[in-house]
Amino acid sequence: MEKNQDEQSEGLANQKTNYSQGNRDSSLRLMKEPTACSAVDFNIDKKINSIEQDFEFLFQHSGNLVFILEDNGVCKKVSANIQSLLGYKQEEIISEELSMLFDQLNQAFINSELRRLQEEDLKESISVKHLRKKNGEFLLVECTISKCQSGGWFCICKDMTDREAEQNELLQREKLNIVGQLATGIAHEIRNPLTAIKGFLSLLKHTPERKVEYIQVMESEIGRIEAIASEMLLLGKPVKNKKEIFDGFQLVSEVVSLLLPESNLRGIWLELENNLTNPINIKCNVAQVKQVLINLIKNAIDASEQGQKINIRVHGKQGKVIIEIQDYGCGMSSQEIERLGEPFFTKKENGTGLGLLISYNIIREHKGSIEVESTPNMGTIFSIELPVL
């Protein structure tokens, strides 16, 4: 009986030994062989790594200048092409605020835009700005600021230099086209004072005692010719992007003076009204804004019939100067108003539609707007709004 007990005890011991050995073998096997879960994790890590590599490639080679910003606008990362576009090394920009690349006016804009996007929970903002190069020059870019899913911001800046050059070329062509269209009226307007000067010179020969009076009249006529010639030279000059401070009403008045010969020749009356209580200055590219006014007033003349008048009013409203150009001509339908500004959409027989397209772009660049009201056979009102200083 004792023998049987000893055999049973030995059998149990062997079972325990085999069980323990089996556990060890199983554990070793689990350590050596990947499980289904570890294979999935490995594939996910591989895919994430591949996506990160693709993102990095796009980030560095998209052709656009790309910034990744903290919530407060501090740069965390910037694409390598910043050196070729702006002259900075990446390490010179990282940990600096993006606003350092803008002039003082646009520094405030960028900071306020980030706050606005955050407060209003907007996805993105697009605007055209100048980035400051390391050498002090500026690069025109289109900035798109978008929220990152993980927090912070993407800022993608597209070089607009070529587009700006194309727009300036279009503007110059349109200006030269207008010079040609105005030539007949200008020639007529210059001939009138020349005739007066010739007549008074003849009178001087016969009545020298009235020379002071005659000379004053001739000086006035010569001044008129000089003013017309100056405006024509300004109109024909290539576009420069220099902005200067200018009196809003004076700017409109000079354009009206330039177009009086054309309107007089066609029997149309231009009436200029100054409804400003005080002089208002605007900062603008004078030649470009004059180009817009010439386009719109000339369109009003073309839409009018002999004997009709065109009202040009200047007034102020909440930090803006409003310039209204109202004609009483053929007017437009709502469908035609919606198409204004489209390239090559025009109601004129020999028109191109580029004049309004350029005008809209110029006013937009000046942070302004153009509104249109029109009724068929009753007339049209173009309203230009520009910010004042």
Q: Is residue 185 part of a domain?
A: yes
Q: What is the mean pLDDT of the chain?
A: 77
Instruction: Let me know the angle formed at the C-alpha of 141 by 135 and 146, rounded to the nearest 5 degrees.
Output: 120
Buried b (16+ CB within 10 A) or exposed e, 71-80: eebebeebbe
Token reading at 284? 């603008």
User: Are 335 and 219 in a shared domain?
Assistant: yes
Least reliable range by pLDDT among 72-76, 281-285, 340-344: 340-344
How many helical (H) and strand (E) elements, i.e. helices and strands, does the chain have?
11, 12
CA torsion sign, 162 to 168 to 170 to 172?
A: negative
Structure pTM?
A: 0.48
Q: Quick one: which H or E segment has residue 300?
A: helix 286-303
pLDDT at 386 over 90: yes
Q: Is residue 324 part of a domain?
A: yes
User: Are 201 and 117 in a shared domain?
Assistant: no
Q: How many CB atoms lie within 10 A of CB 314?
A: 21
Kindly report the CATH number assigned to the domain that includes residue 86.
3.30.450.20
Q: What are the tens digits of pLDDT across the range 29-60? A: 444 455 555 655 656 776 666 666 666 666 66
pLDDT at 289 over 80: yes
- pLDDT band at 379, cuts 50/70/90? very high
Q: How far apart are CA 74 and CA 90, in angstroms?
A: 13
Q: How far is CA 34 from the centre of its chain?
A: 58
Q: Is residue 299 part of a domain?
A: yes
Out of 106, 134, 159, a domain closes at 159
- The total number of structural domains in the chain stands at 3
- pLDDT band at 317, cuts 50/70/90? confident
Q: What are the tens digits of pLDDT across the range 106-165? A: 666 777 777 788 777 777 776 667 788 888 888 888 888 888 877 888 888 888 777 666
User: Are 269 and 350 in a shared domain?
Assistant: yes
Out of 124, 159, 194, a domain closes at 159
Q: What are the tens digits of pLDDT across the range 85-97? A: 899 998 999 998 8
Q: Is residue 55 part of a domain?
A: no
Q: What is the pLDDT of residue 40?
A: 56
List the one residue out of 175, 218, 178, 161 whose CA is nearest residue 194: 218
Token reading at 168? 């300036």
User: Are 109 and 14 in a shared domain?
Assistant: no
User: Are 282 and 214 in a shared domain?
Assistant: yes
Q: What is the pLDDT of residue 174?
A: 64
- The domain containing residue 15 runs over which residues? 2-27
Q: Is residue 323 part of a domain?
A: yes
- pLDDT band at 260, cuts 50/70/90? confident
Q: Is residue 373 part of a domain?
A: yes
Concatenated DSSP letters of 328-357? -SS---HHHHHHTTSTT--SSTT--SHHHH
User: Are 198 and 307 in a shared domain?
Assistant: yes
Residue of higher predicted confidence among 297 and 119: 297
Out of 120, 140, 159, a domain closes at 159
